[in-house]
Amino acid sequence: MKKRYIILILSALLPLLACHEVEHVAPTADRQGITSLTAYFTSGKFVDQEMGRLEVTDPNTERYVIPIPWYFPESSDDITTPYMLNVRVRATLQPNCKLTPALTTLDLTEENHFTYTDATGASRDIIITGERVKSSKCEILSFTVNTPATINGMVDKVNRQVSLITARDLSMATATAMVTPHATISPDPSDARNYNGDDGVVFTVTAHDGVTKAEYVVVKNVPQKIDYGVNTSSVETLFNLDPSTGLGLPGYNAVANVSMGVIDSDLIVNMGDGSTPRYFNKILGTVGGEIKLGSAVPTGAICSDEQDHLLICNLAASGETLNIWKTSSVKEAPELFYSFTNENGLAVPAGSEMKVIGNVEEEASISITCPGVAGASESGLFYSIHVLDGSVISCELKDVSGNTFAFENMAGQPYRWGWIAARSPSVPAASKSNDAGWYCCVYSDNGLTWFKPDLTVGKRLNGYGPGGEDVDGGGSYVDSNTSPNNLDTKGFNNANYLALFVSNHFPKWWPGPQLYVYDITAGLKGENIWNSPSLVFSKPYMYNLQYNSSAQDGNGACGDVILAPSADGYMLYIYYYDHYSQMIGGYSLDCIKR
């Protein structure tokens, strides 16, 4: 840790040492000239976020026009014109190149004149301005048949085909399509038409720019899957948003214990503070509303299984009843699924974290964490609940504190966690049959651990590099600045997967949030979190995304990650939420054979 503090101090002094040459930019490009111009908001709720970016391909150009999206966010109807009047612009230059006068804030509705001097001393006059541009995106994001029955189409963006997986007669079917923001689709899917034909129905999506178009074929068929797991080449980014400014969720300094779930087309977010969970479109991240809560009490956590069932639990003190409610719709009140009395020898609460793998109407394993009591105790306890044929057949209290932490200053101490959200981990089961053990990763120890069914350690992946430092200079390490306590497991296409989301305990310090997904069908392999042979998908450099790096002493050091297979078994969605760093987003993968 001492080495990192020295680096941080030197990093803080460098801007002061260079203040006499503010017009020069540090080496950030690998060819001569201006390589990019980035515009940032200086006002409004998106202040300091990136507004637009120009990648410069012609080093000899004299007019630089930064493209500004017509709306921001792109899915909204909020025009960007008012913000263009006062924009902070940053240039990426080679060493010893400069702009005169120095870049500050610009009115991008006007032409701004500068003198550009390259490394040889040659100068020329250039203009920097901006232009609002309409989106050229033209994709079908979702396609749902409404009558004669609800059928969610499987969208293949690569082949521009929507598959309606059903044996029903679709000779007079109506549908609803969601396309990229501000695009249009024709003909109107709400008009009844025949989807039974082998050739399907052709729809044309026209982008907001009115020029770019794409044709999609909607056909009744069953796409062929690959034999196993996800198609790793199918990764797509869904969205990455600021929860407070983008979705109206609480800011980083609000006391919260975030958890998430997915039902059909909705991503549900629970703040764990007793407020009603809210739902958002799982593809775009647009705001939906509040779920119908009924008698359910969301003071604990929520989670979802592999078939679009949402579970909600309360936070139950020692001796109190812990209830689990279940629903399959954001518009239908949950029903009580199971209740039990929280009785444990440590007198600690239960319900701070809840995870499920499998289908709760068939077979599933539910894990519910028991955190310690604030300022009084720590706990290594969690409840493991086995569901078979839709009914609970066992509910057992498990204790992993017989093991010890392995890494850094925690080595040799009992494996326990405290009350605060940053240290209260999820403990998902390795399989729905509840006989393959559990996974856990705890703040301060930071090793991803598989506990065998007898609760002894079966495998650990180290989160640190040698000596605890940054391993590759890019943030691939998990240290005491982070909270690697967010895990989830799911089965998908004959494989079992584990997601680990490392939220930032101190956003002002590196490495920023990180996301890893492992194939655990045959267990974890390797020695380290970031380069395990079991990895199938990872985002170890999420500090490159927009996130809050200024949080100081808030109450929100918590987060969540969920794996959400589509009910038809073709898509696997991954969602993450870092409350302290104010990041919520998602990715998708599929198992289509191409």
Residues 127 and 35 in one domain: yes
> Could you tell me if residue 14 is inside a domain?
no
> Could you tell me if residue 12 is inside a domain?
no
Read off φ and ψ for residue 565, nearest 5 degrees.
-70, 145
The CATH number linked to 296 is 2.120.10
**pTM assigned to the model:** 0.79
CA angle 308, 574, 560 (to 5 degrees): 90
Residues 175 and 251 in one domain: no
Q: How far apart are CA 310 and CA 303, in angstroms?
A: 6
Beta-bridge partner residues of 564: 573
Residues 503 and 459 in one domain: yes
By the 10 Å C-beta count (0-12 exposed, 13-18 middle, 19+ buried), 318 is classed as middle
Residue closest to 516 by CA, chosen among 446, 429, 451:
446
* Last residue within a domain, chosen from 161, 195, 220: 220
Residues 296 and 385 in one domain: yes
The CATH number linked to 98 is 2.60.40
- Give me the number of domains the chain comprises: 3
What pLDDT digit, counting tens, does each position of 49-106 carry? 889 999 999 888 999 999 999 999 888 899 999 999 999 999 998 888 999 999 989 9
Residues 94 and 165 in one domain: no
57 torsion bin: left (phi>0), alpha (psi -120 to 50), beta (else): alpha
The H or E element spanning position 368 is strand 364-370
Q: How far apart are CA 575 and CA 585, in angstroms?
A: 6
- Name the token pair of 129: 């301005």
> Could you tell me if residue 15 is inside a domain?
no
Residues 203 and 258 in one domain: no
Residues 236 and 212 in one domain: no
> Could you tell me if residue 208 is inside a domain?
yes
Residues 254 and 174 in one domain: no
* Last residue within a domain, chosen from 81, 115, 133: 133
By the 10 Å C-beta count (0-12 exposed, 13-18 middle, 19+ buried), 473 is classed as exposed
Note the residue count of the chain. 594
* Last residue within a domain, chosen from 220, 246, 261: 220
Q: What is the pLDDT along the chain (594 residues), one digit of tens a residue?
A: 333 433 333 344 434 333 333 333 333 434 458 999 999 999 988 888 889 999 999 888 999 999 999 999 888 899 999 999 999 999 998 888 999 999 989 999 999 999 999 888 999 999 999 999 999 999 999 999 988 877 889 899 889 999 998 878 999 999 999 999 999 999 999 999 999 999 999 999 999 999 999 999 999 988 889 999 999 999 999 999 889 887 889 988 888 899 999 998 899 999 998 999 999 999 889 899 999 999 999 999 999 999 999 999 999 999 999 999 999 999 999 999 999 999 988 889 999 999 999 999 999 999 999 998 877 788 999 999 999 999 999 999 999 999 988 776 667 888 888 765 556 789 999 999 999 999 999 876 778 999 999 999 999 998 865 444 444 444 445 666 677 889 999 999 999 999 999 888 777 666 678 899 999 999 999 988 988 999 999 998 776 676 666 665 556 678 999 999 998 899 999 999 998 888 899 999 999 888
Residues 458 and 534 in one domain: yes
Residues 256 and 146 in one domain: no
Q: Are strands 50-55 and 34-41 parallel, antiparallel or unpaired?
A: antiparallel
> Could you tell me if residue 1 is inside a domain?
no
Query: Sign of the C-alpha dihedral, residues 345, 349, 350, 352?
Result: negative
Query: Any residues with CB less than 8 A from the CB of 69 and at least 6 apart, and which?
Result: 51, 52, 80, 132, 133, 135
Structural domain that includes position 522: 231-590
Predicted pLDDT of residue 286: 87
Residues 96 and 180 in one domain: no
The CATH number linked to 167 is 2.60.40.2340
Predicted pLDDT of residue 511: 66
Predicted pLDDT of residue 20: 35
Q: Are strands 448-451 and 457-461 parallel, antiparallel or unpaired?
A: antiparallel
> Could you tell me if residue 475 is inside a domain?
yes
By the 10 Å C-beta count (0-12 exposed, 13-18 middle, 19+ buried), 572 is classed as buried
Query: Sign of the C-alpha dihedral, residues 13, 18, 22, 25?
Result: negative
> Could you tell me if residue 146 is inside a domain?
yes
3-class DSSP state of 120: coil
What pLDDT digit, counting tens, does each position of 306-358 carry? 999 999 999 999 999 999 999 999 999 999 999 999 998 888 999 999 999 99
Q: How far apart are CA 366 and CA 313, in angstroms?
A: 11
CB atoms within 10 A of CB 560: 31
> Could you tell me if residue 10 is inside a domain?
no
By the 10 Å C-beta count (0-12 exposed, 13-18 middle, 19+ buried), 490 is classed as buried
For the chain, what is the largest distance between any 2 Cα atoms, rounded to a whole number of angstroms?
79
The H or E element spanning position 14 is helix 2-17
Residues 247 and 196 in one domain: no
